[in-house]
Chain A
Amino acid sequence: MTLSVTAPSMDTLGIYRTRGLGCLAEIVLTDPDSVVGTVDIVHEELDQIDRAASRFRPDAEIALVHRAEGRPISVSPCLFEAVAVALRVAVATGGAVDPTVGGALNRLGYDRDFASIGAGIPGDLPKPAPVPGWRSIELDRASRTVRVPAGTVIDLGASAKSLTADRIAERVAATFGCGVLVSLGGDISVAGVPPPGGFCTGLADVSGGAEASETVAITSGGLATSGIMSRWWRVGHHVVHHVVDPSTGLPPARAWRTITVAAASCVDANAASTAAMVKGPGAEEWLAALHLPARLVALDGTVVRVAGWPAPVASEPEAVGPVR
């Protein structure tokens, strides 16, 4: 972990970096004196969601739900909220982002921590088959139970990480009364009073250490990027990535290398960017219809901006280079 104080512009910001949920976690504060106090909140939230929802931990709460063979299981408020948010995302995206893709990811070989997959796995792609579908999950808020049909595996990766970013941002802002930006693997949530001009965020194909091709400032809500340039592996001769089309159980056809979306929360931004990857060629029109500002980078590097995403300043390149 890293504690530092930096001055990215005229302002002095406090920054805390650590790792969690398999990615880099970065917290930027307008009050550097609050950095130390923020550390406990960050680790408490990261540990909580990992213990509740990790698909790779046999002792995770979600594993109990899977082992229940279709019986309702009483769960913690954290897991209940994560599943409820995942179902809301499924509804909001018309099923393009579906939490029941866990089994499909397992069949593609993504059944362990990503670092353990290495170069890839032998064999061939599984035959296309739709996932069980989010409608098969039952929640009862009164008894705080979750029921999943036997054999269905839930993957909350897409929404749980963004939910955690939103939770940390809101808690830190409420506790210390300062502006805060939380980035979990490039899924960003902003809360509190931002610095003058907003929080600056670089945009790149891959989060964490990559050189930004464009920089924007945001003052509230969330920003998230989905893409095929990270978390990909080989199944036999096929290159696959972690975004799965629920209608086939396989990665969607490659239409965009990255899609960045701004929304009212990190959850909504992540849901929109992931769904847009699944929708492929129809993503541009879909995002515009929802009035979600978005930046889509095509496979050849062409940048498309929709719904008020700002044009680059003069010195920045319009295209960022083709996919190798």
Chain B
Amino acid sequence: MERKSQRPAQDHTRLARLRRDDALSRIATINRSIGAAALVMTGVLGLYLSKALPGHQASTQSQSTQSQSTGSSGSNQLTPPPSSPVQTQQPAPVVSGAS
């Protein structure tokens, strides 16, 4: 008698576990999809903004191939000299003034 009454209870528990595992599997799939979509959207949005915002540059080249630009540090700040000018009384071959 005891065995007969335990049987439906075990089936019920087993069914509940199967449903739980199935739901967890679906949630994991949804999470992976959301993660992938977020990555793709970030890339697409970044590319769009780099092209759409006026006055900005879009680039598909690596940093090393862009470093040809001469006369500037490449940063968006004005860079002080490695050393300040020093006063001298030596004759100067050139003169800096407004031109």
Interface residues in chain A, defined as those with a beta carbon under 8 Å from any beta carbon in chain B:
6, 8-9, 13, 15, 23-24, 26, 28, 77, 81, 84-85, 87-88, 90-93, 133-142, 162-163, 165-167, 170, 181, 183, 185-189, 197-210, 212, 214-231, 258, 260, 262-268, 271-272, 290-293, 307-313, 315-316
Contacts and interface: CB of A to CB of B under 8 A. Distances in A.
Contacts of B87: 214-217, 310-313, 316
A310 B99 CA distance: 24
Contact of A201 (B73, B76, B89, B95): B95
Contacts of A307: 80, 84
Interface in B13-62: 51, 53-61
Contacts of A24: 99
Given A134-B55, A206-B99, A181 B81 contact: no
Contacts of B73: 264-265, 268
Given A202-B94, A293-B84, 18 more contacts: A8-B90, A81-B69, A84-B69, A85-B72, A88-B74, A90-B55, A133-B55, A167-B70, A199-B94, A208-B99, A212-B95, A214-B87, A220-B81, A222-B71, A258-B97, A264-B82, A267-B72, A308-B84
A31 to B, nearest CB: 15
Name the residue among B73, B79, B86 with the largest chain A CB count within 10 angstroms.
Answer: B79
B68 interface: yes
B54 A137 contact: yes
Nearest to A162: B71
Name the residue among A13, A28, A88 with the largest chain B CB count within 10 angstroms.
Answer: A88
Contacts of B8: none
14 contacts: A9-B90, A13-B93, A139-B56, A141-B66, A162-B71, A197-B90, A200-B93, A207-B95, A224-B96, A227-B98, A230-B97, A258-B98, A262-B84, A308-B84
A70 to B, nearest CB: 12
A236 B68 CA distance: 45
A39 to B, nearest CB: 17
Query: Interface size class for chain B?
Result: 35 or more
A200 B95 CA distance: 9
Nearest to A203: B96
B88 A268 contact: no
Contacts of A224: 96
Contacts of B92: 8, 200-202, 212, 215
Contact of A187 (B60, B61, B99): B99
Nearest to A10: B90
Nearest to A206: B97
Contacts of A85: 69, 71-72
Nearest to A292: B80
B77 interface: yes
Given A200-B90, A216-B86, A262-B84, A92 B95 contact: no
